[in-house]
Amino acid sequence: MDYTEFVKNVEEFGERFFENMMKQVQNGMGKDWEDVKFDKKNLLQEQQERLREFREELKLLKNPPVDETNWKELENLFDQMKKEIR
């Protein structure tokens, strides 16, 4: 599987997950929990925040890296550090 397909699969999974989770949140908000108390408004806000965060993180996967890593330079610096430590 190439990277683009992987990202697409992550996105599809996430969207399905959050859609189903929202259904569970709505079910929980509509249920009479008798003695169990929880902040229904906060539960909904947290769910919306998690979805927003997922979508923000997904953008990072979809965009090309800002900087290319110069691995050769890192290797040279690492070798230099090892020599200086000895």
Dump the DSSP string for 35-77.
Answer: T----HHHHHHHHHHHHHHHHHHHHHHHSPPSS---HHHHHHH
CA distance 61 to 28: 32
Output the tens digit of pLDDT for each of the chain's 86 residues: 888 899 999 999 999 999 999 999 999 888 888 898 888 899 999 999 999 999 999 999 998 767 778 889 999 999 999 998 87
Supply 13's token pair. Answer: 């999974």
pTM given for the model: 0.67
| Coil, strand or helix at 83 | helix
Q: How far apart are CA 74 and CA 64, in angstroms?
A: 21
